[in-house]
Amino acid sequence: MHYQSVTCLLVLSLLSLLGGSASAWADDRNLIQTLYHSEFQAYADDGEPSFSLDGELGILAATGNTNASSVKAGVTSEHETRYWNNYYFAQLLYKQSEVERDGKDVREVTAQRFFGYAQFDYKLATPGSRLFMYGDYENDQFNGYNYRASLATGWSQRVWNDDESLFKYSIGPGYTFVSAEDGTVSNVNNGIVLRASAEYQYQWYTGAKFRQFISTEAGADNMKSRSETTMSANIFDSLAMKLSFVLSHETAPLQDVEGLNTETSVSIVYRFF
C-alpha cells in the first residue's frame, strides 16, 4: 500500500507539471500567433478550394426598318485556394448598324469594346479580411482613347457570406494609364487614383440570383464610376438567362464624348465548371 500511494502521488505530480507546461506553451503559441499570424495562417473562410468558369453570349440581329447586329460575349471565373481568392473577367462587345452616308445606306461599326480585369485577394488570419491586388484593361473604339488601364492595391473585406447572400468591398490607392487616339497621354485622366468597390449578391432557393456591383476610381481631375446590376435565372442545371444593366460615368470625358453611357442586355450564361 505504501508503494502504491507513492506511485499515485508521483503520477499526479507529473500530470500537474505537464498540464501547467502545456498551458504555458499554448499561451506562448497564442502570443506568437498574435504577433506573427501569417506563419500559422489557415483558411480565413470555411470554403474549400474551388474553381468556377462561366461563359456568356448574347446576339442581336435586326432587319427591315432597322438593320443592325451585335454580339456580346464574356467569361467570368473565380479561383479559391487556401490562401488566395482570385477573380477574372473578360468581355467583348461588337455592333454593326446601318447608317446613311451621302444618300446611301451603309453598314458601319457603331460599338467595339474589350474590357477585362483580374483581382487577387490574399486571405489574412482574421476571417473575411484580405489584401488585394487589382488590374484592368479597356479598349473602346468610341470613347476617344486607344486604351485605358488601372492598377490598384489595398484592403478587401468580405463582410458576410452565407447560404443566401454575400457582401464585400475593397479600397486602396492605384494608378491609371491612359493613351489618347493620337498616341499622347492624357494628363487629365492619367495619374494616381483612389479605387473603391462594393458587391452584393443574393440567391433564392430556386437558383435565381441578383448581383449589384459598384466601383469608383477618383483622381485629382476625373472620377470614373461603373455600376453593374444583373438578374439571372436558371434554365437547366448549367444554363441560365441573365439580364444586365451597366452604367458607366466619368466627370471629365474627352471632348465630343458622352460622360454617361448605359447598356442593357439579355444573354445566355453557361457554367463550364
The pLDDT value recorded for residue 3 is: 43
Within 10 Å of residue 162's Cβ, how many Cβ atoms?
6
**What is the percentage of the chain residues whose pLDDT exceeds 90?**
56
Give the lowest-confidence range in 4-13, 37-46, 121-130, 179-188. 37-46
Residue range 192-248, pLDDT digits in tens: 999 999 999 999 988 899 999 999 999 988 899 999 999 999 998 889 999 999 999
Indicate the average pLDDT of the chain.
Answer: 83
- Choice between 189 and 193, residue whose per-residue pLDDT is larger: 193
- Choice between 194 and 64, residue whose per-residue pLDDT is larger: 194
Strand pairing partners for 177? 149
Long-range contacts of 51-54 (CB under 8 A, 24+ apart): 51/77, 51/78, 51/79, 51/80, 51/273, 52/77, 52/78, 52/79, 52/271, 52/273, 53/77, 53/271, 53/272, 53/273, 54/269, 54/270, 54/271, 54/272
- Residues 6 or more apart in contact with residue 137 via CB below 8 angstroms: 114, 115, 116, 117, 147, 148, 149
Chosen CATH of 44-271 out of 2.60.40.2220, 3.20.20.100, 3.40.640.10, 2.40.230.20: 2.40.230.20
Give the lowest-confidence range in 58-72, 107-121, 176-190, 197-211. 176-190
DSSP 117-164: EEEEEEE-SSTTEEEEEEEEEEEETTTTEEEEEEEEEEEEEEEEE-SS
Nearest to 30 by CA among 40, 45, 17, 20: 40
Centroid of chain to Cα 187: 28
Query: Are the CB atoms for 231 and 208 separated by under 8 Å?
Result: yes
**What is the percentage of the chain residues whose pLDDT exceeds 70?**
79
Q: How confident is the model at residue 45 (pLDDT cuts 50, 70, 90)?
A: low
Confirm whether pTM is higher than 0.85: no
- What is residue 9's three-state secondary structure? helix
Q: Strand 165-180 and strand 191-203: pairing? A: antiparallel
Residue range 117-142, pLDDT digits in tens: 999 999 999 999 999 999 999 999 88
The pLDDT value recorded for residue 182 is: 60
Q: In terms of residues, how long is the chain?
A: 273
The pLDDT value recorded for residue 262 is: 92
In the chain, domain spans: 1-40, 44-271
